[in-house]
Chain A
Amino acid sequence: MNRPDSKVVNAIHQASFIRGDALEIPTLQVLDAQGDVIDGAQMPDIDEALAHKIYDTLAFIRVFDERMVASQRQGRISFYMTCKGEEAAITGSAAALSDDDMIMAQYREQAALRFRGFSTPNFMNQLFSNAKDLGKGRQMPIHYGSNELNYMTISSPLATQIPQAAGYAYGQKMAGKDALTICYFGEGAASEGDFHAGLNMAAVLKCPTVFFCRNNGYAISTGTDEQYAGDGIAPRGVGYGIETIRVDGNDLLAVLLATQTARAYALEHNKPVLIEAMSYRLGAHSTSDDPSGYRSKEEEELWAQIDGVLRFKTWMINQGWWDEDKDAALYEKYRTEVLSELKISEKIGAPALEELVTDVYHDVPKHLQDQLTELKSHIAKYPDAYPSAKGESH
């Protein structure tokens, strides 16, 4: 506590600043750019089974992202966002968690959801907003969520999940659970007021929360030089009194190690941890965006060369756990699966009209029942004008 009579610690007698960029946070690496383990690097806790589960997720997400962007181009779905370039950061961190840990994501973290076991139809039904979408067709594509898998449904307003993660983790702690909350967000979202509120709350209230910043270089068109001054997001964690680590986000083993260490620390001490994963958004911001308007092909190619999926694959092959034939077969399996599931999901009809008024409140209040009744009689008058009267799916 600050008191006027307390002894001044570390008094200085010349005015001198601590430089704004004085904190130069180091970056944890296990694999080099080629995918070989760096001499003397600490290894994460990983066995062959976990490595396979991780690689399986990486391959699926690569195929899925590619296929769904193509579907958007064909007009089959309205919108999509890929996780391309950041698969290693997302999968590596998700692999360090227990299934009871809550995941609160921003929107680009489908790999974490897949790692948890979200099925291909589950993904697809959300993208098609059909009657089988767990979110009942209410949100735009990529707003996944699953209570069963402890994956909080995505909300579009950025950074709102950050203070919520602190609160959720506090609740887990109070309930005596051996589980924490991981919260993903971009370096852009880390500018929002909610970021600062959330980190401060978590630090002061001692919440077992792992804040995971995906620093992928861009927030839509805005590069990091226009997003922040100083050395990235990590020093902010230190500023809030939070244990902080920066990691090479294209190095899956380093991300896994950092997150395993963070998880153990957060649970043991009931404190938050901030991880900043340095990576790159290889794809467009979304299918509505064209990055050629704000960055060069050369820049993208540079980052593609240190791709995290490739580096992990090389490591797997070096371990003797993988080979190119198996790789080709796995990708082929997923291409076939995704295509056939897509054809099934796009034929499933829309949610029922009644669901327009449910879940606004716990019970449907009188005024919404009345509005639905009125709407139904209006639709009955003009059956040709409304898809729901025609039983159309879209």
Chain B
Amino acid sequence: MAQMNLLHAINSALDHAMEKDERVMCFGEDVGHFGGVFRATSGLQEKYGKARCFNTPLVEQGILGFANGLAAQGSVPICEIQFADYIFPAFDQIVNETAKFRYRSGNEFNVGSLVIRTPYGGGIAGGLYHSQSPEAYFTGTPGIKVVVPRNPYQAKGLLTACINDKDPVIFFEPKRLYRASVGEVPEESYEIELGKAEVVTEGKDVTLLGWGAQMEIIEQAAQMAGEQGISCEVIDLRTLAPWDVDTVAKSVTKTGRLIISHEAPITGGFAGEISATISDVCFLHLESPIARVCGLDTPYPLMQEKEYVADKLKIFEAIKASVNF
């Protein structure tokens, strides 16, 4: 085991993958010698050469189109979109091409080896174009998997699983935690199974569900509730598409209550999808309405960020409202 921050853990996963398989390539804007604006690909070009770790011209549409072609050919492209806010120029290539390659060709062709890495989320004083959480645009598209790690250990294990997976995956990295989140990470390669949620803390009164950077905030709220004698079960969804309905349903069946929290705006956010499914599956076990604590339905602001976000106090209030319903 070694102490790593989230960026080191990602770098380590990429390093193992490139070492093990020559077909693995890392590319994107500034990822070559510079190592990416956040330095996730540091040292990889020096180790594996310019042909396998390289800068691309500044065009996300091109990066994804190129990656689709590479993956269809049999390479293992791991491309970086510098900020999730800038994934939209590549939207067509992702939702119309990456996601549908296998289906539309009857599996004559597929881009299953493709991984898109991209930093997402707020809390870095980035304003509306450096803070978005666009996961729900992609969970609404069949054919791509969506994965979000919450700490360095998960980042390495989940990213490795994404690279080895037979389907294209978007791996959203919580950039607020890149350097802030530090923990024990095995030096060797390992995988965390995709499609499986993790029960972080067991509890009996209410289930709290989230992913990525929001988990830290959910855990703080759970602790506040604990001090008031409310026992929270905390679950990290980890994979959003396809998501682990069973683990969440089992928990809600036990607690009778569910609160989902994410950074993205509430309307059209992935919490809505979860709550529809869980109210269907767990209808007879619910003791209170499923609650969503999310961003407001506005672009992510620069000022008033503290007011805007789904912070621990808002979640704490939702917990109290749920148990007192």
Binding site for B on A (CB under 8 A): 78-79, 129, 137-140, 143, 155-158, 188-189, 191-194, 219-222, 226-228, 288-289, 293-294, 350-351, 353, 355-357, 360, 367-368, 371, 375, 378-379, 381-382, 385-388, 394
Q: CB < 8 Å: which of A137, A221, A378, A385 contacts B303?
A: A137
Of the listed stretches B126-134, B215-223, B250-258, B270-278, chain A binds B126-134
Query: Inside 8 A of B125's CB, which chain A residues have their CB?
Result: 78-79, 140
Query: Inside 8 A of A138's CB, which chain B residues have their CB?
Result: 127-128, 299, 301-303
Interface size on B, residues (CB 8 A): 40
Are B58 and A157 within 8 A (Cβ)? no
Asked whether any CB of chain A lies closer than 8 Å to the CB of B181, the reply is: no
Q: CB < 8 Å: which of B88, B130, B307 contacts A375?
A: B307
Binding site for A on B (CB under 8 A): 29-30, 32-34, 37, 54-55, 57-62, 85-86, 88-89, 125-130, 267, 296-299, 301-304, 306-308, 311, 313-314, 317
Q: Please give me the residue from chain B that is nearest to A187 by CB atom.
A: B58
Q: Which 6 A-B pairs have the closest CB atoms?
A: A156-B129, A221-B34, A191-B57, A137-B303, A188-B58, A140-B127
Report the Cα distance A192→B86, complex, angstroms.
Answer: 11
Known: A222-B30, A368-B297. A356 touches B304 (CB 8 A): yes
Q: CB < 8 Å: which of B30, B88, B298, B299 contacts A157?
A: B88
Q: Please give me the residue from chain B that is nearest to A218 by CB atom.
A: B30
Question: 26 A-B contacts, Cβ less than 8 Å apart?
Answer: A78-B125, A129-B302, A129-B303, A137-B302, A138-B299, A138-B302, A139-B129, A140-B126, A140-B129, A156-B127, A188-B58, A193-B59, A193-B89, A219-B58, A221-B33, A222-B30, A222-B55, A226-B54, A356-B308, A357-B298, A371-B297, A379-B307, A386-B307, A387-B304, A387-B306, A388-B306
Are B298 and A360 within 8 A (Cβ)? yes
Known: A156-B130, A220-B37, A378-B314. A192 touches B303 (CB 8 A): no
Are B85 and A156 within 8 A (Cβ)? yes
Report the Cα distance A158→B129, complex, angstroms.
Answer: 11
Query: Inside 8 A of B128's CB, which chain A residues have their CB?
Result: 138-139, 156
Q: CB < 8 Å: which of B37, B126, B304, B311 contacts A353?
A: B304
Q: Please give me the residue from chain B that is nearest to A293 by CB atom.
A: B34
Query: Inside 8 A of B308's CB, which chain A residues have their CB?
Result: 356
Query: Inside 8 A of A293's CB, which chain B residues have their CB?
Result: 34
Taking the closest CB of chain A, its distance from the CB of B208, in whole angstroms, is: 18
Interface centre among B29, B37, B55, B298 (most CB of A within 10 A): B298
Q: Please give me the residue from chain A that is nearest to B59 by CB atom.
A: A191
Known: A140-B126, A193-B89, A222-B55. A371 touches B296 (CB 8 A): yes
Are B307 and A356 within 8 A (Cβ)? yes
Dominant secondary structure at the A interface: loop
Are A353 and B30 within 8 A (Cβ)? no
Interface centre among B60, B125, B267, B307 (most CB of A within 10 A): B307
Report the Cα distance A220→B32, complex, angstroms.
Answer: 12
Query: Inside 8 A of B37's CB, which chain A residues have their CB?
Result: 220, 288-289
Known: A227-B58, A371-B296. A140 touches B313 (CB 8 A): no
Report the Cα distance A221→B130, complex, angstroms.
Answer: 19
Query: Inside 8 A of B311's CB, which chain A residues have their CB?
Result: 385
Are A368 and B58 within 8 A (Cβ)? no
Taking the closest CB of chain B, its distance from the CB of A388, in whole angstroms, is: 6
Taking the closest CB of chain B, its distance from the CB of A258, in whole angstroms, is: 25
Query: Inside 8 A of B89's CB, which chain A residues have their CB?
Result: 157, 192-194
Q: Please give me the residue from chain B that is nearest to A131 by CB atom.
A: B303
Taking the closest CB of chain B, its distance from the CB of A137, in whole angstroms, is: 4
Are A139 and B296 within 8 A (Cβ)? no
Are A382 and B58 within 8 A (Cβ)? no
Taking the closest CB of chain A, its distance from the CB of B109, in whole angstroms, is: 23
Report the Cα distance A156→B88, complex, angstroms.
Answer: 13
Known: A138-B299, A156-B129. A222 touches B313 (CB 8 A): no
Q: CB < 8 Å: which of A143, A227, A289 contacts B57?
A: A227
Q: Please give me the residue from chain B that is nearest to A136 by CB atom.
A: B303
Query: Inside 8 A of A381's CB, which chain B residues have their CB?
Result: 317
Are A388 and B127 within 8 A (Cβ)? no
Are B317 and A378 within 8 A (Cβ)? yes
Taking the closest CB of chain B, its distance from the CB of A163, in whole angstroms, is: 12
Q: Please give me the residue from chain A that is nearest to B308 by CB atom.
A: A356
Report the Cα distance A140→B59, complex, angstroms.
Answer: 22
Query: Inside 8 A of A353's CB, which chain B residues have their CB?
Result: 304, 307
Q: Please give me the residue from chain A that is nearest to B50 by CB atom.
A: A226
Query: Inside 8 A of A156's CB, which chain B residues have their CB?
Result: 85, 127-130
Q: CB < 8 Å: which of A191, A194, A367, A394 contacts B267?
A: A367
Report the Cα distance A360→B300, complex, angstroms.
Answer: 11
Taking the closest CB of chain A, its distance from the CB of B127, in whole angstroms, is: 4
Known: A156-B129, A221-B34. A226 touches B57 (CB 8 A): yes
Report the Cα distance A129→B314, complex, angstroms.
Answer: 25
Interface centre among B37, B57, B299, B317 (most CB of A within 10 A): B57
Taking the closest CB of chain B, its distance from the CB of A129, in whole angstroms, is: 5
Are A357 and B302 within 8 A (Cβ)? no
Report the Cα distance A378→B128, complex, angstroms.
Answer: 23
Q: Please give me the residue from chain B that is nearest to A189 by CB atom.
A: B58
Q: Please give me the residue from chain A that is nearest to B61 by CB atom.
A: A193
Taking the closest CB of chain B, its distance from the CB of A184, in whole angstroms, is: 15
Known: A350-B303, A356-B298, A367-B297. A228 touches B57 (CB 8 A): yes
Report the Cα distance A13→B60, complex, angstroms.
Answer: 40
Q: CB < 8 Å: which of A143, A222, A388 contacts B307?
A: A388
Query: Inside 8 A of B299's CB, which chain A residues have their CB?
Result: 138, 360
Are A191 and B58 within 8 A (Cβ)? yes
Report the Cα distance A289→B88, complex, angstroms.
Answer: 24
Report the Cα distance A382→B221, complex, angstroms.
Answer: 14
Taking the closest CB of chain A, its distance from the CB of B11, in whole angstroms, is: 16
Query: Inside 8 A of A78's CB, which chain B residues have their CB?
Result: 125
Taking the closest CB of chain A, its distance from the CB of B309, in whole angstroms, is: 11
Are B85 and A157 within 8 A (Cβ)? yes
Query: Inside 8 A of A367's CB, which chain B residues have their CB?
Result: 267, 297
Are A294 and B304 within 8 A (Cβ)? no
Query: Inside 8 A of A193's CB, which chain B residues have their CB?
Result: 59, 61-62, 89
Are A368 and B296 within 8 A (Cβ)? yes
